[in-house]
Each structure stands twice: as C-alpha cells, then as structure tokens.
Amino acid sequence: MANQGFNTFKSGGLGADYDLAVASIKAMLVRGYVFDATHTTVADVTGAGGTINGTSAALTTPTITNGVFDADDASIATTASAVNHVVIVAQTSAVTGGADLPANQQRLIGYWDTGTNLPVQPGTGTVTVAWSAGASRILAVT
C-alpha cells in the first residue's frame, strides 16, 4: 500500500467540510488497520480493527501554500509496545476549531505507511512524526 488520502477528504476539501488552517488536525499511530478509501471517520478505523496507540496534540503552525499542507513535526506518546503502526491524520474538531468531537465525527484526511521509519515500531514512550521536507510536505493537492 502507498500513502493515500481518504475519499471523503478529497471531496470534502472542495467544500466546507475541512479547514486545515483552523480546525484541530491531529496525527495518530494506528496498528491492525487495513486502509479503506471509503472510510470517513476515526470510528471507521477502529471499527475495522484498527487500534489507536497514541494521538498527537493539534498540529502546530499549519500552512497551506500552492496546494501544499504542512505543519510542525508531531510528537505522540505511545501507550503500548507493539509493531507495524501507520500514521493517520484526521480533523478532530469542528471546521471552526474547538474541542475534539467524538470519534464518529472526527473526519479522516490521510494514511501513511510508506516513508522513512514507516511503519513505526514505537515501543512505549514518545514518537516524533517528522513530516516530509520534500515538495509534498504532509500532503499536496495535485
């Protein structure tokens, strides 16, 4: 599998369903999940057998320039020593920001299983998710 965006993000990004600069966007370490482009919420991921082993704080310093989304690297405190984690990014708040919504309302954005140090083998402790310094950064609309 290669890094992918969820269909809902691809469609919702063209409307008012997402705001990467204002809403709370978080990275999650997930194990035991097989990517399904039709999943829409974090509850779909856990309902399909995915286990979330830590979630970052809201990504800081988000920028959107020429169709490219970037933010500072994320730190995730892991709770279990397990192998083969992927990274999933989701909008966890309402479009206008605020507190996290329930998992069945947290909108999926993207899935990463390919890249430097992926899949993640976290152990317990803190994992730093270092976003690409390449042209696509966290994600790019092409």
6, 41 Cβ separation under 8 angstroms: no
Helix, coil or strand: residue 46? helix
The whole-chain average pLDDT of the chain stands at: 90
Is residue 140 a part of any domain in this protein?
A: no
Residues ≥6 apart with Cβ < 8 Å to 47 = none
Q: Is the pLDDT of residue 1 over 60?
A: no
Is residue 114 a part of any domain in this protein?
A: yes
> Distance (Å, rounded) from C-alpha 75 to C-alpha 135?
22
Enclosing domain of residue 94: 4-135
Is residue 22 a part of any domain in this protein?
A: yes
> Distance (Å, rounded) from C-alpha 60 to C-alpha 74?
8
> Distance (Å, rounded) from C-alpha 43 to C-alpha 128?
24
Is residue 77 a part of any domain in this protein?
A: yes
98, 65 Cβ separation under 8 angstroms: no
Is residue 104 a part of any domain in this protein?
A: yes
With pLDDT > 90 as the criterion, what percentage of the chain qualifies?
A: 59
Number of domains within the chain: 1
Is residue 141 a part of any domain in this protein?
A: no
Q: Whose structure tokens read 């997402």?
A: 18
pTM for this model (two decimals):
0.92
The model's pLDDT over 17-54, given as tens digits with 9 standing for 90+, comes to 899 999 999 999 999 999 999 999 999 999 999 999 99
Looking at the DSSP bridge assignments, the partners of residue 74 are 129
> Distance (Å, rounded) from C-alpha 94 to C-alpha 72?
21
121, 84 Cβ separation under 8 angstroms: yes
